[in-house]
Amino acid sequence: MSNQIEALGPRVRPPLGRWIPLSIQHVFAMFGATILVPILTGLDPAAALFTAGTGTLIYIVLTGAKIPAFLGSSFAFIPPILAIAGGPGGPNMAYALGGAVAAGIFYCLIGAIIKIAGTSWLDRALPPVVIGSVIVVIGLNLAPTAMAMAMNTGGGAAGEYSLALFSIAVFTLGVTVAANIFLKGFFSVIPILIGLIAGYLFTLILGLFFPAYHIIDFQVVRDAPWFGLPAFHTPRFNFVAVLTFIIVSLATICEHLGDTLVTSKVVGQDFYKNPGLHRTLTGDGIATAWAAFWGGPPNTTYGENIGVMAITRVYSVWVIGGAAVIAVLLSFFRKFGGLIRTIPTPVLGGISMLLFGIIASSGLRTIVESGVDYKDKRNLTISSVIFVIGIGGGKLAFAITKDLQFELAGVALATVVGIILNLVFPPTRSAQSAGAAN
């Protein structure tokens, strides 16, 4: 008798007794990362849960319920949100949300072009050397934020160094790393949640004995009503924010293509053809615009949930939809939202030290697995310029009118420069030969 677990296909609805636990499992997988993004950017975690759940349901409908994919908060958009908003919860957050709405609409436009012209033009404009380098920049741009949360009082760069806070961050990081490397099965795909809980309990226990660790205040939980609406925001639009988010979305579009390919391999169906990339990208785009419209961070397909499917061999869209409904219900439980807000900043810093590094490392992985040859001076030049502009804080700014300032900086500027360099400098003969060989 075989011990192989029978797979459940995308259209199969499991019995209720299995359906609910399987859906809860997916909520655990997405939860840590989904709430971390709004905490870092100053948005409401409850709004993020609401828009992740409703965005996932929108995606399921627009893809004909053919792809089991959960959409949660995107880390790639943290730098432009912070830059446009003026910091976490900054005064210009409405414009950052407007930029995210525009990015979602841009996804839909690219989806329409892909339906008509295919993806070859996208491969030409955004080869692995550009995309991989930009992803590295996205991760490393966030490194100072992680270290400030881990070491400084108040979580900002202007705070004072605290050994107590740093010890919390190091403990949280250690547990998260250990969970990520050594745990097996389902627990191997929720290291963020495990690290978050461990760091929280570590802080709570030490806070009972040492004043320096007494940083968790449950007053916000006591003051919160049991039920209520998340804190929604209304987006506003300006040219700089829209352009910045559209440029950064070029990298996340390629991330979407990669996630869809991985999901296809896990499930054993070609989602590039059915329902088609144009529909998956449109679904992602509308879910992203929807999320930003309600004050949530932009969405993206979650690798954590793909990992859960790979382990359980349950690919049911019904299970993913159940997880989305649970996330929406949690968003209205305001006591739960208050509890999220008590998570200590150094705990988030410890998790971010790993997460942001993984983002940068995934860019390196893209470069390595794509076979980018750095003996080729062209590739070396493109990556080098992207790294220095993106990580060094490069900025292009000038006044259009007396009251309108144009500014392109950081990840967005590095992406534009990388695309221009790639299009201006023709591939070398060695690169052309390698492409022909592949």
**What per-residue confidence (pLDDT) applies to 151?**
87
**What per-residue confidence (pLDDT) applies to 3?**
43
For the segment 143-153, the average pLDDT, to the nearest whole number, is 83
pTM as predicted: 0.78
pLDDT band of 159, cuts 50, 70, 90? low
**In which residue are the tokens 């409401």 written?**
44
The Cα 249–Cα 232 span in angstroms is: 23
Residues forming beta bridges with residue 227, ordered by sequence position? 333
pLDDT at residue 100 tops 80? yes
Percent pLDDT > 90 in the chain is 25
* pLDDT tens figures, 59-98: 999 999 899 989 988 888 888 898 888 888 889 999 999 9
For the segment 390-407, the average pLDDT, to the nearest whole number, is 70
Q: Which of 39-48, 113-122, 256-265 has the highest mean pLDDT?
A: 39-48
Closest CA to 37 of 76, 69, 91: 76
Q: CA angle at residue 311 from 309 to 316, to 5 degrees?
A: 25
**What per-residue confidence (pLDDT) applies to 139?**
83
The continuous run of DSSP H or E covering 408 comes out as: strand 405-409
pLDDT band of 198, cuts 50, 70, 90? very high
| Cis peptide bond upstream of 144, omega within 30 | no
SS3 content of the chain, % helix, strand, coil (to 5): 70, 5, 25
For the segment 405-414, the average pLDDT, to the nearest whole number, is 76
> Is the separation of the CB atoms in 357 and 154 below 8 Å?
no
Q: Across all residues in the chain, what is the average pLDDT? A: 84
* Type of residue numbered 339: L
Biggest alpha carbon–alpha carbon distance for the chain: 77
pLDDT at residue 383 tops 90? yes
pLDDT band of 426, cuts 50, 70, 90? confident
The Cα 196–Cα 203 span in angstroms is: 11
Closest CA to 383 of 143, 140, 145: 140
pLDDT band of 205, cuts 50, 70, 90? very high
* pLDDT tens figures, 218-255: 888 888 888 887 877 889 998 888 988 998 888 788 77
Q: Give phi and psi for 360, each to the nearest 5.
A: -65, -40
The Cα 328–Cα 27 span in angstroms is: 11
**What per-residue confidence (pLDDT) applies to 2?**
40
**In which residue are the tokens 């609805």 written?**
13
Residues forming beta bridges with residue 409, ordered by sequence position? 395
Which class for 337: exposed (0-12), middle (13-18), buried (19 or more C-beta within 10 A)? Answer: buried
The half-sphere exposure of 288 on its side-chain side, counting CA atoms within 13 A, is 32
Closest CA to 82 of 137, 34, 40: 40
* pLDDT tens figures, 296-353: 999 988 877 877 787 778 888 999 999 999 999 988 988 887 888 888 889 888 888 8
> Is the separation of the CB atoms in 206 and 61 below 8 Å?
no
**What per-residue confidence (pLDDT) applies to 1?**
37
pLDDT at residue 158 tops 80? no
**What per-residue confidence (pLDDT) applies to 223?**
84
**What per-residue confidence (pLDDT) applies to 303?**
73
**What per-residue confidence (pLDDT) applies to 400?**
61
**What per-residue confidence (pLDDT) applies to 436?**
47
Instruction: List alpha helices for 63-142, DSSP H.
Output: 78-85, 93-117, 120-125, 128-141
State the pairing for strand pair 71-73/299-301. antiparallel
Give me the count of residues in the chain.
438
The Cα 56–Cα 361 span in angstroms is: 27
* Pair of tokens at residue 239: 């040219």
> Is the separation of the CB atoms in 323 and 24 below 8 Å?
yes
CA–CA distance from 99 to each of 18, 80, 107, 130, 274 (Å)? 40, 9, 12, 22, 30
For the segment 13-27, the average pLDDT, to the nearest whole number, is 83
Q: Give phi and psi for 94, each to the nearest 5.
A: -60, -35
